[in-house]
Amino acid sequence: MRIKKPNLKLQTTITLLVCCVIAISLLVTNLLISAKVAYNTEKNLEDKATYIARIVANSPSIIEALNGKKDEKVIQEMANNMKNMTNVEYIVVMDMNQTRKSHPDIAKLGKHFVGDDVEEALKGHEYVSTAEGTLGMALRAFTPIFTSDGRQIGVVAVGILLNNVHQAVAQSRIIIYIGVGFGFLVGLIGAMLLAKSIKKTMFGLEPSEISKLLEERSAMLHSVREGILAVDKDSRITLINEEAMSIFSRAGITDPMGKKVEECIQNTRLNHILQTGQAELDQEQELKGITLLTNRIPIFVKGETVGAIATFRDKTEIRILAEQLTGVRLYADALRAQTHEFMNKLHIILGMVHMKYYDELAEYINSIADKYQEQVGFVIRHIKDPVLAGFILGKISYSREIGVQFVLSEECFVPEPEENEITHEIATILGNLVDNAMDAVKDYKDKIVNLTLVYEDDILTIEVSDSGPGISGELKNEIFAKGYSTKGDNRGLGLYLVQKSVERLGGNMQLFSEVGDGTTFIIYLPYKSKDGVE
């Protein structure tokens, strides 16, 4: 049977782990320090006893009394005084026969010294021993007494009871125990704060939850059809998913992980995102012939920019489709205008038939036919691309519908293009410029829009002018921005698309406008004729 391990929370685990480490460390430290303190305490007591014994042994009064030159009572008096001052248990002065000359207990004066550890001292050696005397087990320091001529005349024994020694050691250890306890308490508080901080840093997630999130993140990164590229605050690449690597491989970029993004990938603008902290959405990016649609977003942690991420997708095929759909919309608008105009004329014809105005009807139909043939013939003769010709005819019909005078220059001539894709771009350019011009003049008395298309030396010149209100100087740079419009929400794409189409075709555009004096757009586009017409 498999035993399930207890599932402790991360904060609890960290707290217990840190507390255990601190406890073990303090325990080992306590053992080492306690042993050292006990040794030092005992050594200090030994040194103290030895030092006192030396003082007594070198006292002239003690030497003279043992030598018979003074009364022996001096020995007892001095020994007791010294004992009281130094707080030792006893100071015993004895002669070479081990007869006590001093003792804390007067009754023991003149009696034989107890203990066989005095023998070496009688031989002139100084040392410290532990033995049992009349007052109990004691730490005893022995020092021989010599006369000035070097003759030994006795021994001084200074004793400190072992109970007192152990008590001194215990008192020293109490300080250690207090320090250990305080250290453990501080460690416990620190462990709890550390665990709480780590928990907060990980947004309150448990390790199992983090593991699950990482697995989900990995699966998500590899499954999305968008390329994903992330950089840190130093602009070093930290993350690339498989789709991004596939796109980079087609662009000839290999192994970019860990490198500075600007060193291996062009036009990412991630450095700019890191500096400004401003997101850039739905931006086109050219990467060695591959057109990408990119979103670039800064990464913030506690209000500080710590990195940036870019998501992108190869938009080459989608762009072509979008261009085709844009053309279809423009063609549909043109056909709708033509249909609407045709239906109006049919209603007029039907009314004249009902009223039996046959002569006027014939004249009306002839005038329509002549005008239509004149317009259609002119457009067909001068615009060789049938798609573009149909598009212009639709705009002519639409202008009549809204009451705008749409003038096609007599100089117009456009040969059939060598590549059909350019037609969609030109339709996008013309459609937006002409529509904007008609919108600009529809509320004016003189509603005139002029269109000139001239082909010369592989350059197609497009000129669209109107008699509208014109554009002020401060707006000339803003009207090409994506989303900028004076017509309300969900507008502001027309001139942006015109500019992008001109850029894709490698052309350039000029704008001439004065307030109250109309607006003129002139565009120069590289244009290859199918038949090589100059």
pLDDT tens track for 468-486: 888 877 777 777 776 555 5
pLDDT at 489: 43
Which pLDDT belongs to residue 223?
65
pLDDT band at 1 (very low <50, low <70, confident <90, very high): very low
Percentage with pLDDT > 70 across the chain: 79
Query: Residue written as tokens 């202008």?
Result: 399
User: Contact, 228 vs 241, CB < 8 A?
Assistant: yes
For 85, how many CA atoms within 13 A lie in the half-sphere containing its CB? 9
Average pLDDT of the residues in 93-121: 86
The edge-to-edge listing of strands for the beta sheet with 508-513 is 405-408, 448-456, 459-466, 519-526, 508-513
- Taking the C-alpha atoms of residue 232 and residue 258, their distance in angstroms, rounded to an integer, is 10
pLDDT band, residue 440 (cuts 50/70/90): confident
Distances from the Cα of 330 to the Cαs of 102, 146, 148, 458, in angstroms? 129, 130, 132, 26
Amino acid 490: pLDDT: 39
Say how far apart CA 277 and CA 304 lie, in whole Å: 9
Average pLDDT over residues 57-78: 86
- Residue-range domains of the chain with CATH: 13-168 (3.30.450.20), 226-314 (3.30.450.20), 319-526 (3.30.565.10)
8 Å CB contact between 153 and 95? yes
pLDDT reported for residue 508: 92
**Averaged pLDDT of the chain:** 79
- pLDDT for residue 239: 84
The pLDDT-based confidence of 463 (bands split at 50, 70, 90) is: very high
- Are the C-beta atoms of 270 and 306 separated by less than 8 Å? no
- Quote the CA–CA distance of 52 and 532 in Å, as a whole number: 125
Pick from 185, 129, 191, 188: which is nearest to 155 by CA? 129
Judge contact between 46 and 128, C-beta under 8 A.
Answer: yes
Return the pLDDT at 525: 92
